[in-house]
Amino acid sequence: MTGGGRRARFISARQDLKRKAVNYQKGLELALTPDLVSGFETVVNRSRDRFVASVAPLLAKLRALQTAALATPEAAAAFIVETQAVSYAIKGLGGTLGYPLATAAAKSLNDFVHHRDGLDAKGLDVIRVHVDALYLILAQPQAEDDPTQRAVIDGLFQLTEKYG
C-alpha cells in the first residue's frame, strides 16, 4: 500500500428514511411503468401555459431594459444581470414543459452573458436577436425536428460563439 494520507473513516448508510418510506402496501413501485411516466409527463406539460405566462413578462422587461442598456455602464450591468437571470430560468424550465427549443435558445443566450460584465453595440444586438427568437419560439408550436427552427437555434449558437 502506498500513500501517507489519513485513512478514510466510514459511516454506515443511514436507514431511517428507507425505514419510514419503503413498504409493501402503499405508494409507488420502485420502477415506474412507462404508462405512469407518460401520465406524469402529461400532467407536467399542463404547466406549459403557466410557463409562457410567466416568461413573457420577463422577456418584455428585457426588451424594455435593452433600449437604454448602452446609456451608462450601470445600465449595461443591470441589463446583463437581468439577462443572466432570465436566460438561466428559461434554460432550466423550457425542456421540462415541452419547450426544448426555448431551452436551447436560452442556453445560447446564457452562454453569451454568463461571466460577462460589459456590453457594446454588437453584444446588445446578439442579446436582442436571442430575445426575439425566444418570443417566436414561445409563440410557435414546438417541433424539435423542424429544420427551420433548428437552423435558428444553430444560428444563435454561432452568434454566441463568434461574439461571446
Partner 1 sequence: MSSAKIDFAQVRFLVIDPHPLSADLLKDVLQMLGAIGVVKCATTERAIELLRQEPFDIVITELETAPMNGFEFVHFIRTSSNSPDRLLPVIMLTARSEREYVAEARDQGITEFLAKPFTVDALYKRLISVIARPRQFVDAGTYFGPDRRRRPEPFQGPDRRESAPRQSVTA
Residues near partner 1, by CB under 8 A = 1-3, 5-15, 17-18, 20-30, 32, 37, 40-41, 43-44, 47, 50-51, 54, 88-89, 91-97, 100, 103, 110
* CA gap 117, 102 in Å, rounded: 24
Q: Which is nearer to partner 1, 51 or 112 (CB)?
A: 51
What are the cell numbers at 88? 438561466
Q: Which is nearer to partner 1, 41 or 125 (CB)?
A: 41
Q: Assign residue 160 a region: left if phi > 0, alpha if psi is -120 to 50, beta otherwise?
A: alpha
Q: Which is nearer to partner 1, 32 or 68 (CB)?
A: 32
| Closest approach of partner 1 to the CB of residue 133, in Å | 18
Q: Is 152 within 8 Å of 133 (Cβ atoms)?
A: yes
Q: Which is nearer to partner 1, 106 or 127 (CB)?
A: 106
Residue 61 neighbours by CB under 8 Å, 6+ apart: 82, 86
| Closest approach of partner 1 to the CB of residue 71, in Å | 27
| Closest approach of partner 1 to the CB of residue 122, in Å | 25
In the Cβ-directed half-sphere of 37, how many Cα atoms lie within 13 Å? 5
| Closest approach of partner 1 to the CB of residue 120, in Å | 26
* CA gap 84, 120 in Å, rounded: 16
